[in-house]
């Protein structure tokens, strides 16, 4: 028996996958970005558009990745290679697996640095290391935190060690067991922060900011934000979901599981808004400060609140958990490949990959201090990792996945894995063939900044026309009738 044919670990149940995939989706960006853009682009109106986008683009792509992972029972490289071979297609498509695995590793290389911020601020809250009376004072604290390579390197190294320790213990004893308490713990801390916010002032303003249905403020830019976030928030095209899907038992429903992850991710993001914004509004601060909201405005707000230190500790503990659950998902594709193809044990693969990750992440960490001037075309190493993954590799990988599923692979693969009714399978197939690729293309073009002003103002109408044309063409095609049969 070869290493690639050895029995593959599986989640103990659908709940384990649901928690792990939700943990992968709920990261640092989701804690501040989704609540902020929700308030900026129309509150309840934006949430409605976002839900349409996540079910039209995010969920079909997630279902596709889970199906490919479970069918191929391997890392992104091995799983795609196997389903390609099963369908009798060219091996060139397996490059999608390599790109997904590399993308996840590259994202983690700079993500551990950002995650290190949350861990360092948790320590600062515990030790009283955050003092100041103005936002400028908080900016100085944040800058000092990053300007020391020893300090920033220590915290990013700690995140790396914690990540490798968890994944090195295996799928069930490491990942599933860890997210089994970290995700409920994260939700519990959010609930405590929401309850506190409800009685400390600013809660009404926070609810209005997040949920007031203001369709007039929902511009084309807001629709783009909803579409982009719907794609990126589910950790798609980075190897994580596909690898997690390879551990999913055959009896679990992929459709229900993917929808469950999407709903849980959205609920946690909105809960984060209800936890964060009451403190911001109660202290008369600007809710639109992006990352500065987390590491500059909130620490200042906690200082002026009763029991502020306690709730500051709760908040940054919650943030650290969110960071860690995302980190362990991003490295899993690499570990899966090393174990399946190089004959390494889980601990060997974890610590081997961890050494390489530490070296690359150290270069990313130095971009904030001694290496800030080491630039290429105006970008330092950290910026290049972010640019290549979020603007190029993830959109291209997602586009490749849906094209592969919709037009290249045998349809029987997805009929068996998804096990949907004929009508629902036809809906999924239509989404994967037409709606999801169009949505991803819009995200890709927007990420590269290629929009012209006139197109940016009218793209929703153009997209609607394109979709209508595809619907008309598909309804008149015998392929739909064959699918429904």
Q: SS3 for 213?
A: strand
**Residue 29's CATH number:** 1.20.1740.10
Residue 479 lies in a domain: no
**Which pLDDT score, from 0 to 100, does residue 476 have?**
42
Give the pLDDT of residue 459.
55
pLDDT given for residue 124 in this prediction: 92
Within a domain: 44: yes
What is the structure's pLDDT at 478?
Answer: 43
- Asked if residue 6 has pLDDT above 70, the reply is no
Q: Which pLDDT band, with edges at 50, 70 and 90, does 290 fall under?
A: low
Query: Could you report the per-residue pLDDT of 383-405, keeping only the tens digit for each?
Result: 999 999 988 899 999 999 999 99
Quick one: pLDDT at residue 471? 58
Using the predicted structure, report yes or no on whether residue 176 has a pLDDT greater than 60: yes
For a pLDDT cut of 90, what percent of the chain falls above it? 49
- pLDDT at site 5: 44
Evaluate if residue 104 carries a pLDDT over 90: yes
Residue 416 has a pLDDT of 95
User: Would you say 37 and 46 are in contact if contact means Cβ atoms under 8 Å apart?
Assistant: yes
Task: Give SS3 for 372.
Answer: coil
Least confident range from 108-117, 313-322, 356-365, 437-446: namely 437-446
Exposure letters 430-443 (e unless 16+ CB within 10 A, then b): bbbbbbbbbbbebb
Reading the block at residue 376, the tokens are 């290429």
pLDDT at 135 over 80: no
For 321-328, what is the mean pLDDT? 93
Cβ 415 vs Cβ 472: under 8 Å? no
pLDDT tens digits for 35-91? 878 877 878 888 888 888 898 899 999 999 999 999 999 999 999 999 999 999 888
pLDDT in tens, 190-203: 999 999 888 878 89
Model confidence at 291: pLDDT above 70: no
Distance in angstroms (rounded) separating the CA atoms of residues 220 and 372: 35
Residue 473 lies in a domain: no
148-152, 294-298, 391-395, 468-472: segment of lowest average pLDDT: 468-472
Q: What is the DSSP string of 430-468?
A: HIIIIIHHHHHHHHHHHHTT---HHHHHHHHHHHHHHHH
Q: How confident is the model at residue 320 (pLDDT cuts 50, 70, 90)?
A: very high
Q: Is residue 333 in some structural domain?
A: yes
DSSP reduced 3-state for 483: helix
Please tell me the distance from the alpha carbon of residue 16 to that of residue 63, in angstroms, as a whole number.
Answer: 17
18 and 260 in contact (C-beta within 8 Å)? yes
Which DSSP symbol is given to 374? -
Instruction: For residue 449, report the phi and psi dihedrals to the nearest 5 degrees.
Output: 70, 35
For the chain, what is the mean pLDDT?
A: 86
H/E stretch holding 383: helix 381-387
Q: What is the largest CA-CA distance in the chain?
A: 69
Does residue 391 lie in a domain region? yes
Would you say residue 317 has pLDDT above 70?
yes
pLDDT for position 29: 77
**What is d(CA 8, CA 469) in angstroms, rounded to the nearest whole number?**
44
Query: Is residue 297 in some structural domain?
Result: yes
pLDDT of residue 480: 46
Residue 454: predicted pLDDT: 43
pLDDT value, residue 231: 83
Q: Over the range 190-218, which residues count as b (16 or more CB within 10 Å of their CB) and which as e?
A: bebbbebbeebebbeebbebbbeeeeeeb
Identify the pLDDT of residue 465: 54
Residue 186 pLDDT > 60: yes
Contact 313, 126 (CB under 8 A): yes
Residue 483 confidence (pLDDT): 47
Burial of 237 (0-12, 13-18, 19+ CB in 10 A): buried
For residue 427, pLDDT over 90 is answered with yes
229-285: per-residue pLDDT in tens?
Answer: 888 888 898 999 999 999 999 889 999 999 999 999 999 989 988 988 888 888 887
Tokens of 233: 């928030």
Q: Is the pLDDT of residue 182 over 60?
A: yes
What is the Cα–Cα distance from 408 to 52, expressed in whole angstroms? 27
Split into its structural domains, the chain has a count of 1
Residue 28 lies inside a defined structural domain of this protein: yes
Give the Cα-Cα-Cα angle 41, 47, 52 (nearest 5 degrees).
115
What band does 98 get if pLDDT is binned at 50, 70 and 90? very high
Query: In the structure, what pLDDT confidence band is assigned to residue 453 with cuts at 50, 70 and 90?
Result: very low
- Nearest-angstrom CA–CA distance, 232 and 241: 12
Q: Is the pTM of this model over 0.75?
A: yes
Contact present, 311 and 298 (Cβ < 8 Å)? no
- Contact indicator for 368, 362 with CB cutoff of 8 Å: no
By residue range, what is the domain housing residue 207?
A: 7-450
Residue with tokens 């026309």: 465
Q: Is residue 40 part of a domain?
A: yes
């Amino acid at each position: 028996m070869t290493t690639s044919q050895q029995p593959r670990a599986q989640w103990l149940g659908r709940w384990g996958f649901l928690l792990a995939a939700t943990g992968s989706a709920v990261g640092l960006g989701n804690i501040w970005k989704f609540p902020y853009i929700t308030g900026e682009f129309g509150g309840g109106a934006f949430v409605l558009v976002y839900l349409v986008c996540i079910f039209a683009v995010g969920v079909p792509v997630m279902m596709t990745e889970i199906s490919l992972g479970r069918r191929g029972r391997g890392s992104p490289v091995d799983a795609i290679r196997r389903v390609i071979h099963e369908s009798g297609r060219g091996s060139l498509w397996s490059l999608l697996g390599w790109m997904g695995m590399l993308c996840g590793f590259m994202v983690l290389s700079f993500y551990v640095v950002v995650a290190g911020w949350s861990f360092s601020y948790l320590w600062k809250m515990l030790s009283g290391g955050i003092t100041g009376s103005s936002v400028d004072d908080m900016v100085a604290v944040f800058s000092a935190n990053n300007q020391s390579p020893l300090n920033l390197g220590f915290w990013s190294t700690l995140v790396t060690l914690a990540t490798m320790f968890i994944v090195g213990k295996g799928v069930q004893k490491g990942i599933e067991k860890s997210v089994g308490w970290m995700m409920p713990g994260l939700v519990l801390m959010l609930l405590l922060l929401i309850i506190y916010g409800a009685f400390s002032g600013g809660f009404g303003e926070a609810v209005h900011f997040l949920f007031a249905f203001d369709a007039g403020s929902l511009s084309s830019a807001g629709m783009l934000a909803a579409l982009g976030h719907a794609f990126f928030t589910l950790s798609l095209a980075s190897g994580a979901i596909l690898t997690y899907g390879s551990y999913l038992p055959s009896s679990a429903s992929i459709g229900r599981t993917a929808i469950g992850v999407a709903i849980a991710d959205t609920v946690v993001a909105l809960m984060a808004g209800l936890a964060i914004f009451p403190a911001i509004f109660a202290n008369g601060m600007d809710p639109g400060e992006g990352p500065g909201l987390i590491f500059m405005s909130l620490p200042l707000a906690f200082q002026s609140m009763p029991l502020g230190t306690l709730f500051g500790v709760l908040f940054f503990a919650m943030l650290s958990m969110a960071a860690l659950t995302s980190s362990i998902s991003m490295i899993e594709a690499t570990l899966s490949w090393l174990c399946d193809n190089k004959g390494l044990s889980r601990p060997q693969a974890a610590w081997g990959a961890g050494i390489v990750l530490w070296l690359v992440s150290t270069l990313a960490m130095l971009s904030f201090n001694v290496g800030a001037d080491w630039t290429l075309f105006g970008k330092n190493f950290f910026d290049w990792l972010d640019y290549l993954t979020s603007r190029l590799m993830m959109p291209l990988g997602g586009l490749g996945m849906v094209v592969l599923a919709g037009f290249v692979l045998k349809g029987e693969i997805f009929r068996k894995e998804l096990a949907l009714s004929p009508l629902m399978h036809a809906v999924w197939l239509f989404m994967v063939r037409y709606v999801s690729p169009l949505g991803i293309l819009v995200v890709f073009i927007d990420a590269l900044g290629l929009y012209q002003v006139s197109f940016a103002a009218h793209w929703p109408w153009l997209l609607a026309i394109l979709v209508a044309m595809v619907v008309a063409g598909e309804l008149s095609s015998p392929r739909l009738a064959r699918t429904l049969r």
